[in-house]
Structure 1
Amino acid sequence: MSAEPEIARLNACGVVPVVVIDDVEVAVPLAQALLAGGIDVIEITLRRPAAMAALETIAHKVPEILTVAGTVVTPGQVSDVKQAGAQAVVSPGFSELVDNAMRAANLPWLPGVATASDCMRAVAAGRLTCKFFPAEQAGGTATLKALSGPFPQMKFCPTGGVSLTNLGDYLALKQVICVGGSWLVPGDAVAERNWAKVTQLAKEARETVAALRG
């Protein structure tokens, strides 16, 4: 596993909420709800206009949580998320241009991989901890097991189709450090400001991780 302390925190938590935020006003209470449930990491995806402001707000107002920028696909976004306060970055795929920008920014990066060719590019660049995306659509645990044959040095964070019902299958694999999932922060709970539901889902996920890891 990567030596970066941020990656170690992802591993320790076991589950990473993948969050889409449309309204900056929900950023702080959402992050606090996750913390109350025992999850101290959050991935803010850059899929909405409010995402960057939400990322910056959480990074500065809820420092107890590890703020990860997700869906980073261009070099320009790398500098933007660093300025906003992101402590780590996740991408859906691998790009040499983004890789160079990440090195210049000196931020931990989990590029996305789904095939052996993706893994070869990541390994060649020294990126040994990657996002496996889209996990279920790319073959799930069977594909991860197959990839670990030629790439035993790699570690993964499967994301895409992961839920409370199958996260145990992924975490049972020694090459998996954590899983990412949107089920932890459902859109209806956010719309209704139902932070108790977010806290409960976070608690259930953390308890599942703890039970699996003994």
Structure 2
Amino acid sequence: MSLPLIGILRGISPTNVVEVGEALLAAGIERIEVPLNSPEPMESLRRLAEALGDRALIGAGTVLTPAQVRDVFAAGGRLVVSPNCRTTVIEESRRLGMESWPGVVTPSEAFDALDAGATGLKLFPAVQIGIEGMKAMRVVLPPGTLLYAVGGIGVDNFADWRAGGIDGAGLGSALYTPGLTAAEVGERASSLVAAWHAADGNDS
């Protein structure tokens, strides 16, 4: 995936999930998650995977148990994002060949996640950790560890986080809130993508 952004569609319903997903893709966001505390999340996942699975990495957020990992896989999802670090969730995701992005706040959680095979680390909530906290954690992590900031990330602070060394971001309420039309989400997505590129002129 060329653009290191994950679109988080918390609260989306199956009725308009494909239309919204298409809008994200058109803006350049190729990784899309449906949090499991959304209405009928597995149905939304199924529809997204069927419609966009050959063009995007579709998956679920707020995945808390290995059983949920298997449900996401059965629905066609190949991306697992969690708010916490549970090694059993990471291991089951990797066993099924899925990407695993667990939430971490401390170095202990970060190393536990990496030892379990995490694809990358989700700093969550990023506003709690802060850029200086992220820098301190980065110093001790293995070279090449992917760090994505999630929680309070958007147009206004992309530049600061990128300058601090973050690899990517998960976009929640800055991108989608229930009630927005697909066109409105597409406009937000385009603005966020443009801001991400503007924060680093070398980004391709």
TM-score by length of structure 2 reads 0.89
Distance across 2 between alignment mates of 1:199 and 1:100: 34
SS at 1:180 equivalent? strand
Q: Which residue of 1 aligns with 2:197?
A: 210
Corresponding letter in the other structure for 2:27: G
Corresponding letter in the other structure for 2:21: A
Aligned 8 A contact 1:14 1:206 in 2:
no
TM-score by length of structure 1 reads 0.85
Among candidates 124, 149, 156, match of residue 158 of structure 1: 149
Among candidates 23, 45, 52, match of residue 62 of structure 1: 52
Distance across 2 between alignment mates of 1:129 and 1:188: 31
How far off its partner does 1:19 sit?
0.9
Distance across 1 between alignment mates of 2:119 and 2:32: 21
- Does the C-alpha gap of structure 1 residues 60 and 115 become closer, same or farther in structure 2, counting only changes over 3 Å? same
How far off its partner does 1:42 sit?
1.1
How far off its partner does 1:37 sit?
2.1
How far off its partner does 1:54 sit?
0.2
Report % sequence identity: 31
SS at 2:11 equivalent? coil
Q: Which residue of 1 aligns with 2:90?
A: 99
How far off its partner does 1:169 sit?
1.7
Aligned 8 A contact 1:163 1:181 in 2:
yes
Aligned 8 A contact 1:20 1:47 in 2:
yes
Q: How does 1:13-92 map to 2 (within 5 A)?
A: 13-63=3-53, 64-92=55-83
Corresponding letter in the other structure for 1:21: G
How far off its partner does 1:152 sit?
4.1
How far off its partner does 1:113 sit?
0.8
How far off its partner does 1:128 sit?
6.0
- Does the C-alpha gap of structure 1 residues 127 and 39 become closer, same or farther in structure 2, counting only changes over 3 Å? closer
- Does the C-alpha gap of structure 1 residues 206 and 17 become closer, same or farther in structure 2, counting only changes over 3 Å? same
Q: Deviations over 1:147-199 (max 9, x none)?
A: 0122143221111111211122222233x22101211113231xxxx222111
Among candidates 172, 175, 183, match of residue 196 of structure 1: 183
Aligned 8 A contact 1:171 1:179 in 2:
no
Q: How many pairs align?
A: 198
Distance across 2 between alignment mates of 1:40 and 1:123: 24
Distance across 2 between alignment mates of 1:141 and 1:157: 12
Q: Which runs of 5+ in 1 are unaligned?
A: 1-8
Aligned CA RMSD, in angstroms, stands at: 1.7
How far off its partner does 1:107 sit?
1.1
How far off its partner does 1:22 sit?
4.5
How far off its partner does 1:208 sit?
1.4
Aligned 8 A contact 2:94 2:117 in 1:
no
Q: Deviations over 1:24-68 (max 9, x none)?
A: 111111111212222222111111241111011001012322212
How far off its partner does 1:118 sit?
0.7
SS at 2:16 equivalent? helix
- Does the C-alpha gap of structure 1 residues 73 and 33 become closer, same or farther in structure 2, counting only changes over 3 Å? same
Corresponding letter in the other structure for 2:200: R
SS at 2:141 equivalent? coil
Q: Which runs of 5+ in 2 are unaligned?
A: none
